[in-house]
A and B are shown apart, each in its own frame.
Chain A
Amino acid sequence: MSIQQMLPFLSTAVMAVFTTSVLSRYFVRRNPAFLFWGIGLAMFGAGSFAEAYLALAWSPVIFFVWYFFGAVLNAAWIGHGTVYLLFRRRWVHVVTAILVLGSLGALVLMLQVMPRLDASHFTSALPISEQYREIMPPVSEGATIRLTTPIFNMYGLLTLVGGALWSAFLFWRKRVLPNRVVGNALIAVGALSIGFASTLTRLGYGSLLYIGELVAAVLMFSGFVRASAPQPEEAPQPVAAQA
């Protein structure tokens, strides 16, 4: 197994730990932000695992998992968790409904394209990110699902990266909680690294997707751990003197 084939397995392992950590916090705190982060991270992990599998063998089901969860949905669902953190819940629920309906619509489009996949072009010698265009039909021949990836990814980019940067800025401006400044910056860099690698993939340079995913997984998890870490205490305040 080459290093390039091992990278998505490593990403999957990191994401499994990350997802478990986030979802366990949801079950304790019942904050919807953790639920959506957890679902999105699980999608990221599923996409990484599918990529690892497709580096060894072909499966239409695994290709579905890779494209639908890894390429289309995961960024938007992770970013949507940040929306719950930063905005009032009343109208966030409306955006949630739009995200769910949009995801269901994307599911229909993905299922429509599945019978038209051409696996004769598949080779395990290349990453799936470098050959998926030959396997999927073009947009002009009915693969409308491919047009949804920029929409979901834009939403994910705006909410996840924008939200992390905004949070980091707020804590920096108030000169408090430095761990959260650094943690959110790490999350933003991690999300941008996978966004950048995905963009290159869509332009035809898919060889960097594996390393982009691993960098994203490590940085986002590190950022989450850093931002969640207990803050160092300042020197204790003097007790009021007795009369």
Chain B
Amino acid sequence: MSGREPRPRPDRERSRITKDSFLYGKAVPIVLGALGLITAFMIVFALGVLVGWIPFR
């Protein structure tokens, strides 16, 4: 049988986050969640400005 090297895997499969990483296991989901909440708040705020609930100067 030939000793041909396996076909290179795409980038997506080659760089993985380790299972015991504190940064990616705890910190990243908390940060993403907080940013999501802030984004939702700012969208609601902009809607409030648009409909006149919040004073527009």
Contact = CB atoms under 8 A, between A and B. Distances in A.
Interface of A: 133, 139, 146-147, 150-151, 153-154, 157-158, 161-162, 165, 168-169, 172, 175-179, 181-182, 185, 188-189, 192, 195-196, 199, 202-204, 231-234, 237, 239-243
Interface of B: 1-6, 11-17, 19, 24, 28-29, 31-32, 35-36, 38-39, 42-43, 45-47, 49-50, 55-57
15 contacts: A158-B39, A161-B39, A176-B15, A178-B24, A188-B35, A192-B38, A199-B42, A199-B45, A204-B57, A239-B3, A239-B6, A240-B5, A240-B6, A242-B3, A243-B1
Q: Is the interface of B mostly helix, strand, loop or mixed?
A: helix
A234 B29 contact: no
Contacts of A243: 1
Nearest to A146: B56
A150 B46 contact: yes
Contact of A240 (B1, B36, B38, B45): B1
B30 to A, nearest CB: 11
B3 A133 contact: no
Contact of A176 (B17, B19, B28, B29): B17
B8 to A, nearest CB: 9
